[in-house]
């Protein structure tokens, strides 16, 4: 799992490189996201389009990181397994999920 940050005029995108977000890498995911989000004040898009699997521990890491941030966070490009997890946990009621990675 690796993160990269890019910027457009009105939002910053944090791309998650990796197919699997699980408990084994949840600590790295949390600290990586906290670091990436620290420099973003406006809208932050977390691009999860590569992710094919996410467990609840990794999801907790995303929530934990997001709660340290001033940015407005949106998840983008979620594949069906990720969408299902966000829907069943009702986390998608609190964190917007959009199809397109670019606005």
Binding site for other proteins (CB under 8 A): 20, 22-24, 52-53, 55-57, 59-61, 63-64, 66-67, 73, 80-81, 84-85, 88-91, 93-95
Residue 46, both tokens: 């977390």
Q: At closest approach, how far in Å is the CB of 83 from other proteins? A: 11
Burial of 70 (0-12, 13-18, 19+ CB in 10 A): exposed
Q: Which is nearer to other proteins, 24 or 41 (CB)?
A: 24
Q: Which is nearer to other proteins, 5 or 53 (CB)?
A: 53
Residue 31 in 3-state DSSP?
helix
Residues present in the chain in total: 103
């Amino acid at each position: 799992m690796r993160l990269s940050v890019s910027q457009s005029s009105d939002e910053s995108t944090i791309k998650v490189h990796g197919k699997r977000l699980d408990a084994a890498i949840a600590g790295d995911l949390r600290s990586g996201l906290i670091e990436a989000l620290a420099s973003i004040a406006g809208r932050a898009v977390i691009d999860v389009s590569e992710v094919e699997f996410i467990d609840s521990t990794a999801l907790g890491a995303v929530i934990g990181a997001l709660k340290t941030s001033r940015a407005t966070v949106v998840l983008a490009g979620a594949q069906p397994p990720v969408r299902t997890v966000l829907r069943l946990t009702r986390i998608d009621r609190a964190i917007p999920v959009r199809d397109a990675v670019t606005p």
